């Protein structure tokens, strides 16, 4: 966090400008306009010769937007929306550039922009609380606030190919295309790169050139744009209520107001899946890919079905089977690299004068004076076009030598990947903002929506500072670390980190592999940014005029999928279970269980009956698909001793059975209030004894068991271990207690912190205890195992707790108490999880890591037994 002294003594001299802005693309232009509107003095510095940013530089043939024009445009000026008519569904680069020039002219923005002026360094001067900006023109400008609107894709990547400089023919970069245009007529042309720029330009270059050779290292997924007039239904929707349309875009997942799918790809028949994919193909809309089903970027199996579908289309279009195969992506899931929209891309490879060179088979060796050598062939060309991409997101920012507090450079701070709060600011660099910086939705959204949101946020923040007589703002280290964690948590439940994409920095040699943008959605992101402000600029230190306001904290602490689930549940307004009768609560829980994902396939499921302490008990046995016999785990379901059955925990048992490669026997037990304490505990113990005696009949390996349970089932597993110790058997080699009930009092802090908002509430726990045990019985160790006088000699244990669970602290206390008694214990605290997270298989994807650890622990418990047996022999 920022040291006190700096702010206390700061002398706030008058800088040249309130704000210096870098860039004059979509972001820089809107910033200038908005800052002016709010009465700030501002200057934009722009390396290019005019406004436009991306659309100034990328003038290659075929350059267009890939978000529909009506969406890919400003919304801040309602007049602009009526006076500007887009001519096509996807406007060309010249049309978008004309649009931005029109905006600059309409709002008289050029007078505050210095063109052909590249910012080279920016240094924070703590004594005057100003930024010193130096440019290639030698000028030094001072400002209070420094905003980089330098673009995410504005720094071309070096082609890093040997011999680049020695080619004597014409050389072009799609990202720096000559303004005069290029005529390829009668020329032999090479294009290197098959990302969006290559895919858009290749058909048009082919239409002119005598010969075109495309050098492809990695094939990309592309769907046809079906460009033409703006689809009438969309235009009508937009024109009917422009303001409403824009508002829906602002609160949508990707900044485009289209309906999200509500179903996963594997939940429908093959015919329906295909029909939906055909519709995506026909619609020609990039965001449609991810929205065909709600799990395309989450579930590998679902994604593979779309990969296969697109592969089928490519094979149907491209007549040469070898070329078709080379064009089919096989190394990444669709959408994990930016997918492309094309016009006749695959068809172009059917032309006689167009050839694809697959660099995977014959890598590019070098550029020569006359052409290109691969490892197997020499090619001669008149022109080489590099469509080799960008040093994305961080590249343009760290290209400027930015020095913050204490002489620390941003380049050094970000050496292992960018650290930011909300993608807007970074600790140690006061008053420095980035528009659509790393850690914000940016390139995973319709950029115009994200740009407007960032500009509005930054400008309102500056206005708030001014209104409150403050001048300096900087995020705290805690807030930044929390946000970086959240950004990673969001990415890690998706397939994105599996691809070698520029989103991961993988396209630039030596760049750290970190997922750069925020995949949580523009809607969720906007909510977080608004909430930060509503909570008094949570996570920021703001200071000036002798004041210093510290508001430390983390804006998102729940795992993203847990947060979404809680929001969805809150929207359903479900009745509290504790207001129902036990029968009604059981029926309601069963209804909820019926609509969740089923969990993975196992080798075999056998339902049976075993003798309990007070009559027969149902059980369900899960056998792995691998060759047996297997070790056996006895499992007890959750439900506060009142609810649940082997059905309720079925997906969890399947998942653990597959992951741990052990037989799981999920045992039912008598429920309260019909059968109160100690019925459940006695049933659980009777079941363990019976199973231990019948291991071979059940197809298990003779020897010790592992017991496992979740919640009240965790309580029973713990109790059974104590009962087995007292009875001298059966042999148990490990206990896995998942968010267990271990004590009957509600005094630990987790009950207060988490007792109201995270599904398992304090009042529900009260209801469970009231049904299960009289107050006098609750302190019995068979109800509250933490209360046992002696915990020594218990089996090895894994205790899993969830951060946002009322039971967190009693779980942790039991782990600690067992460890203190000499039991080998591992405590696995699950950050950002709630009581019900880990059993929500395929719903709470962030719980999968903990389930993997649980399974590893189970395998480990059994291995230790096997090691002992081997040693004894």
Residue 63, interface with ligand FAD (CB under 6 A)? yes
Residues in 152-211 at the binding interface with ligand FAD, rule: CB under 6 A:
152-154, 197
315-354 residues in contact with ligand NAP (CB under 6 A) are: 338, 341
Residues with Cβ within 8 Å of residue 398, at least 6 apart in sequence: 410, 411, 414
Nearer to ligand NAP, 200 or 543 (CB): 200
Contact (Cβ atoms closer than 8 angstroms) between residue 105 and residue 34:
no
Omega cis (within 30) before 678: yes
Distance in Å, CB of 252 to ligand FAD, minimum:
13
Q: List, in sequence order, every beta strand (DSSP E) within 126-183.
A: 130-135, 140-148, 170-173
* Cis peptide leading into residue 730 (ω within 30°): yes
Min dist. Cβ of residue 224 to ligand NAP (A): 12
443 near ligand NAP (CB under 6 A): yes
For ligand FAD, the closer of residues 155 and 808 by Cβ is 155
61 touches ligand NAP (CB under 6 A): no
Q: What is the Cβ-side half-sphere exposure of residue 664, based on CA atoms within 13 angstroms?
A: 33
**Stretch of 194-202, 271-279, 393-401, 640-648 contacting ligand NAP, by CB under 6 A:** 194-202
Q: Which does 395 bind (CB under 5 to 8 A by kind): ligand NAP, ligand FAD, none?
A: none
**Residue 54 binds: one of ligand FAD, ligand NAP, none (C-beta under 5 to 8 A by kind):** ligand FAD
If the CB atoms of residues 403 and 445 are measured against ligand NAP, the closer one turns out to be 445
Q: How far is CA 60 from the centre of its chain?
A: 32
Question: Are the C-beta atoms of residues 746 and 806 closer than 8 Å to each other?
Answer: yes
Using rule CB under 6 A, residue 284 touches ligand NAP: no
Candidates 179-187, 196-204, 268-276, 433-441: pick the segment binding ligand NAP (CB under 6 A): 196-204
Select the residue interacting with ligand NAP from 42, 148, 192, 665 (CB under 6 A). 192
Considering only 69, 135, 196, 442, the residue that binds ligand NAP (CB under 6 A) is 196
Choose the stretch contacting ligand FAD; rule: CB under 6 A; options: 147-155, 328-336, 573-581, 842-850: 147-155
Q: How many residues bind ligand NAP (CB under 6 A)?
A: 28
User: Would residue 430 be called left, alpha or beta, if left means φ above 0 and alpha means ψ between -120 and 50 degrees?
Assistant: beta
Residue list 579-638, contact with ligand FAD (CB under 6 A): none
Nearer to ligand NAP, 58 or 836 (CB): 58
- What the block records as the tokens of 25 is 């693309």
Q: Which stretch binds ligand FAD (CB under 6 A): 41-49, 595-603, 708-716, 801-809?
A: 41-49
d(CA 557, CA 544): 30
Report yes or no: 360 and 219 within 8 Å, Cβ to Cβ: no
DSSP state of 669: -
Query: Is 46 among the residues that bind ligand FAD (CB under 6 A)?
Result: yes
Shortest Cβ 101–ligand NAP spacing (Å):
19
Residues 873, 869: Cα–Cα separation, whole Å = 6
Q: Shortest gap between Cβ of 156 and ligand NAP (angstroms)? A: 8
Are the beta carbons of 48 and 115 closer than 8 angstroms?
A: yes
Residue count of the chain, please give it: 873
97 binds ligand FAD (CB under 6 A): no
Least Å distance, CB 111 to ligand NAP, is 30
Binder of ligand NAP out of 161, 164, 207, 533 (CB under 6 A): 161
Question: Contacting ligand FAD (CB under 6 A), which of 2, 10, 27, 686?
Answer: 27
Which of 42, 67, 147, 737 binds ligand FAD (CB under 6 A)? It is 67
Of residues 416-435, those binding ligand FAD (CB under 6 A)? 435
CB of 492 to ligand NAP, least distance (A): 22
Contact segment (CB under 6 A) with ligand FAD among 50-58, 597-605, 682-690, 759-767 equals 50-58
To the nearest whole angstrom, how small is the minimum distance from the Cβ of residue 494 to ligand FAD? 19
124/122 Cα distance (integer angstroms): 7
Contact between 198 and ligand NAP per CB under 6 A: yes
Q: Which does 46 bind (CB under 5 to 8 A by kind): ligand FAD, ligand NAP, none?
A: ligand FAD
Where does this chain touch ligand NAP (CB under 6 A) — which range of 116-124, 126-134, 191-199, 663-671?
Answer: 191-199
- In the complex, residue closest to ligand NAP by CB: 195
The stretch among 177-185, 392-400, 619-627, 650-658 that binds ligand FAD (CB under 6 A) is 392-400
Where would I find the beta strands (DSSP E) of 50-174? 113-114, 119-125, 130-135, 140-148, 170-173
User: Among candidates 501, 519, 151, which has minimal Cα distance to 339?
Assistant: 501
Burial class from Cβ neighbours inside 10 Å (0-12, 13-18, 19+) for residue 872 reads exposed
Distance CA 799, CA 794 (A): 13
Asked if residue 717 binds ligand NAP (CB under 6 A), the reply is no
> Residues 6 or more apart from 739 whose CB is under 8 A from it?
710, 711, 714, 800, 801, 802, 805, 807, 808, 811, 835, 838
As given in the structure block, the two tokens for residue 68 are 């529909």
Residue 388 within binding range of ligand NAP, rule CB under 6 A: yes
- Phi/psi for 355 (5° steps) reads -130, 140
In degrees to the nearest 10, what's the CA dihedral of 252, 256, 258, 262?
-50
781 binds, among ligand FAD, ligand NAP, none (CB under 5 to 8 A by kind): none
Is there binding between residue 68 and ligand NAP (CB under 6 A)?
A: no
User: Binding to ligand FAD by residue 837, rule CB under 6 A?
Assistant: no
Phi-psi region of 832 (alpha: psi -120 to 50; beta: other; left: phi over 0): left
For 72-194, strand residue ranges (E) read 113-114, 119-125, 130-135, 140-148, 170-173, 188-192
Which residue, 222 or 436, has its beta carbon nearer to ligand FAD? 436
Stretch that binds ligand FAD, among 59-67, 312-320, 473-481, 635-643 (CB under 6 A): 59-67
Report whether 590 contacts 647 (CB < 8 A).
yes
CA dist 258 and 689 (Å) reads: 57
Distance from C-alpha of 298 to C-alpha of 290, rounded to nearest angstrom: 10
Among 28, 195, 203, 311, binds ligand NAP (CB under 6 A): 195
Near ligand FAD by CB under 6 A: residue from 61, 62, 151, 521: 151
Q: What are the angstrom distances between the C-alpha of 72 and each of 75, 400, 545, 821?
A: 9, 28, 42, 64
* Segments of 57-99 assigned E as strands: none
Q: Which does 22 bind (CB under 5 to 8 A by kind): ligand FAD, ligand NAP, none?
A: ligand FAD
The site for ligand FAD, by CB under 6 A, has a size of 37
- Per the structure block, which two tokens stand in for 510? 């030596």
Q: Count the neighbouring beta carbons within 10 Å of the beta carbon of residue 821.
A: 14
Closer to ligand FAD by Cβ: residue 152 or 577: 152
| Secondary structure, 3-state, 342-388 | ECCHHHHCCCCCEEEEECCCCCEEEECCCEEEECCCEEECCEEEECC
User: Shortest CA distance to 61 belongs to which of 88, 93, 90, 87?
Assistant: 93
Using CB distances below 5 to 8 A depending on partner kind, what does residue 45 bind out of ligand FAD, ligand NAP, none?
Answer: ligand FAD
Which of 75, 507, 668, 735 touches ligand NAP (CB under 6 A)? 507
Is residue 302 a contact point for ligand NAP (CB under 6 A)? Answer: no
| Minimum distance of ligand NAP from residue 413's CB (angstroms) | 25
Contact between 525 and ligand FAD (CB under 6 A)?
A: no
The residues binding ligand NAP (CB under 6 A) are 64-66, 153, 159-161, 192-198, 200, 217-218, 338, 341, 359, 364, 387-390, 443, 502, 507
The residues binding ligand FAD (CB under 6 A) are 22-28, 45-48, 53-54, 56, 58, 63, 65-67, 72, 118-119, 149-154, 197, 396, 399-400, 435-436, 446-447, 451
């Amino acid at each position: 966090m920022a040291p006190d002294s700096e702010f206390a003594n700061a002398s706030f001299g008058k800088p040249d400008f309130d704000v210096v802005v870098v860039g004059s693309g979509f972001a820089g232009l809107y910033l200038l306009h908005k800052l002016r509107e709010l009465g700030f003095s501002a200057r934009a510095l722009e390396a290019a010769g005019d406004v436009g940013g991306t659309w100034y530089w990328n003038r290659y043939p075929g350059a267009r937007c890939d978000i529909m024009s009506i969406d890919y445009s400003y919304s801040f000026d309602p007049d602009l929306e009526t006076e500007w008519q887009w001519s096509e569904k996807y406007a060309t680069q010249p049309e978008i550039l004309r649009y931005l020039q029109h905006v600059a002219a309409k709002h008289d923005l050029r007078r505050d922009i210095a063109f052909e002026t590249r910012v080279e360094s920016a240094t924070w001067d703590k004594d005057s609380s100003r930024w010193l900006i130096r440019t290639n023109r030698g000028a030094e400008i001072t400002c209070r606030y420094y905003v980089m609107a330098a673009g995410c894709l504005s720094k071309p990547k070096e082609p890093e190919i040997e011999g680049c400089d020695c080619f004597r023919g014409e050389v072009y970069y799609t990202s720096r295309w000559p303004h005069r245009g290029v005529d390829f007529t009668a020329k032999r042309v090479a294009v290197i790169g098959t990302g969006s720029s290559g895919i858009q330009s290749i058909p048009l270059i082919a239409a002119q050139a005598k010969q075109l050779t495309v050098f492809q290292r990695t094939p990309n997924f592309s769907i046809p744009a079906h460009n033409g007039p703006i689809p009438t239904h969309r235009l009508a929707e937009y024109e009917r209520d422009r303001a409403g349309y824009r508002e829906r875009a602002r609160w949508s997942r990707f900044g485009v107001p289209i309906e999200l799918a509500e179903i996963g790809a594997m939940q429908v028949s093959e015919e329906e899946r295909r029909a939906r994919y055909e519709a995506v193909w026909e619609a020609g809309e990039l965001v449609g890919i991810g929205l065909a089903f709600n799990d395309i970027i989450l579930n590998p199996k679902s994604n593979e079905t779309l990969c296969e579908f697109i592969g089928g289309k490519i094979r149907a279009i491209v007549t040469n089977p070898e070329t078709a195969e080379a064009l089919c992506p096989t190394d990444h899931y669709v959408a994990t690299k930016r997918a492309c929209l094309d016009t006749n891309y695959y068809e172009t490879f059917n032309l006689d004068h167009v050839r694809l060179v697959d660099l995977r088979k014959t890598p590019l060796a070098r550029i020569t004076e006359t052409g290109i050598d691969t490892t197997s062939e020499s090619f001669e060309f008149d022109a080489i076009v590099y469509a080799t991409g960008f040093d994305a997101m961080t590249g343009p920012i760290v290209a400027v030598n930015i020095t913050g507090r204490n002489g620390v450079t941003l380049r050094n701070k970000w050496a292992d990947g960018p650290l930011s709060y909300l993608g807007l600011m970074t600790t140690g660099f006061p008053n420095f903002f980035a528009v659509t910086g790393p850690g914000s939705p940016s390139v995973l959204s319709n950029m115009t929506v994200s740009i407007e949101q960032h500009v509005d946020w930054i400008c309102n923040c500056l206005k708030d500072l001014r209104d409150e007589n403050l001048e300096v703002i900087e995020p705290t280290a805690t807030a930044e670390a929390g946000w970086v964690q959240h950004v990673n948590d969001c990415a890690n439940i998706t397939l994105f980190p599996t691809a070698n994409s520029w989103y991961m920095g993988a396209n630039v040699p030596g760049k750290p592999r970190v997922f750069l943008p925020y995949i949580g959605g523009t809607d969720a992101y906007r909510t977080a940014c608004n909430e930060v402000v509503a909570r008094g600029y949570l996570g920021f230190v703001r200071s000036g005029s002798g004041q210093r306001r510290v508001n430390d904290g983390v804006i998102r602490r729940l795992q993203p999928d847990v947060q979404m689930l809680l929001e969805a549940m809150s929207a359903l307004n479900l009745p509290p279970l504790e207001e129902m009768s036990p029968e009604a609560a059981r029926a309601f829980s069963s209804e909820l269980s019926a609509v969740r994902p089923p969990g993975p396939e196992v080798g075999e499921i056998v339902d049976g009956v075993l003798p309990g302490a007070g009559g027969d008990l149902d059980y369900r046995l899960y056998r792995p698909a691998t060759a047996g016999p297997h070790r056996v785990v006895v499992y007890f379901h959750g439900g506060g001793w009142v609810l649940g059955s082997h059905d309720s925990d079925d997906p969890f048992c399947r998942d653990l059975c597959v992951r741990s490669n052990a037989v799981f026997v999920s045992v039912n037990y008598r429920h309260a209030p019909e059968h109160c304490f100690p019925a459940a505990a006695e049933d659980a113990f009777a079941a363990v004894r019976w199973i231990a005696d019948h291991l071979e009949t059940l197809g298990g390996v003779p020897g010790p068991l592992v017991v496992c349970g979740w919640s009240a089932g965790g309580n029973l597993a713990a109790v059974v271990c104590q009962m087995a110790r007292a009875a001298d058997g059966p042999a148990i080699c490990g206990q896995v207690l998942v968010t267990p009930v271990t004590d009957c009092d509600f005094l630990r802090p987790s009950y207060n912190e988490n007792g109201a908002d995270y599904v398992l509430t304090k009042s529900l726990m009260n209801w469970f205890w009231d049904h299960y045990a009289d107050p006098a019985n609750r302190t019995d160790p068979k109800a509250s195992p933490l209360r046992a006088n002696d915990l020594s000699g218990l089996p090895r244990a894994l205790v899993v707790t969830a951060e946002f669970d009322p039971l967190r602290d009693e779980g942790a206390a039991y782990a600690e108490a067992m460890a203190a008694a000499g039991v080998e214990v591992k405590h696995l605290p699950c950050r950002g999880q709630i009581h019900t997270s880990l059993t929500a298989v395929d719903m709470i994807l962030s719980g999968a890591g903990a389930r993997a650890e649980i399974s590893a622990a189970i395998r480990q418990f059994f291995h230790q037994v096997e090691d002992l047996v081997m040693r004894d022999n």
